[in-house]
Amino acid sequence: MTQKLPGSKDIPPAGVTWKSATEYKTGDWRSKRPVRDDEKCTRCLICWIFCPDAAISWDGKNIQFDMNYCKGCGICAEECPVKCIDMEDE
């Protein structure tokens, strides 16, 4: 852990969170990351549907993985019909 975290005197009791849930980044324990081949990709969006963490976004043109939340489960790669996603070691 590089950053200094607050101590017991600084955090609320009872495990109450002091930040909005959007400030929690939960992708840090991923061991594999999805890498997409943009040329092979047909934009079928099956990966977008299947991602259990809603970590894949689609803006009408591009597909992007949000690495702050991707856990590296590999469901996108498994489900991709043209096999354009590779799971690479972190």
Nearer to other proteins, 7 or 52 (CB): 7
Contacts of 62 (CB under 8 A, 6+ apart): none
Shortest distance (Å) from residue 85 CB to other proteins: 28
What is the rounded CA–CA span in Å between residue 63 and residue 20?
26
Chain positions contacting other proteins, by CB under 8 A = 1, 5-8, 11-18, 21
Nearer to other proteins, 5 or 54 (CB): 5
Shortest distance (Å) from residue 30 CB to other proteins: 15
What is the rounded CA–CA span in Å between residue 27 and residue 43?
24
